Amino acid sequence: MSKTIAAVTAAKVNATPQGKKIAYWSVTALLAGALTLSGLGQLMELGGNVDLVTNLGYPLYIMQILGAWKLLGVIAILAPRFPRLKEWTHAGIFFLMTGAAFSHLLDHDYGDGGFNVILPLFYAALNIASWALRPESRKL
């Protein structure tokens, strides 16, 4: 009888709560969608992407690099398995987004209502939440 209770207790402890799973996939889907749209916008030089890059003094080809990295990052985060790749991808997204925010801050290019700083920091926060909520199967 005690073995049965121990097995049930162990199963409850190791089970991932449904709410955490929903939160993980919600945050991760939002992050993936945002990065996909941002990456495609940079690759296709849409919207204000060109102005954002040139105002900061970066060459236009950086958009091709960053856009490709974002799309590859989305694939890495959503694909099953490869937990080490996911760890590195989350780190890369964090550095990419905080680097963008600090580039705008240091250049005093805040945008309307601080949008140029707040948006990348929001993406960085989504990235941290996705990393923190990830299920055991996606951890090292």
pLDDT at 16: 58
Q: Would you tell me how many other CB atoms lie within 10 Å of the CB of residue 58? A: 13
In the structure encoding, which two tokens stand for residue 31, read together? 């992050």
pLDDT at 15: 53
Burial of 13-51, coded b for 16+ CB within 10 Å and e otherwise, reads eeeeeeeeeeebeebbeebbebbbebbebbbeeeeebee
| Nearest alpha carbon to residue 25 among 138, 122, 119, 117 | 138
The one-letter amino acid code at 62 reads I
pLDDT at 137: 82
Find out whether 87 and 140 touch, Cβ atoms under 8 Å.
Answer: yes
Write out the chain's pLDDT in tens, 140 residues: 556 555 544 545 555 588 899 999 999 999 999 999 999 999 999 988 999 999 999 999 999 999 999 999 999 999 998 999 999 999 999 999 999 999 999 999 998 999 999 999 999 999 999 999 998 888 88
Q: What is the pTM of this model?
A: 0.83
In the structure encoding, which two tokens stand for residue 11, read together? 């199963």
pLDDT at 105: 96
Place of tokens 């996939």: 25
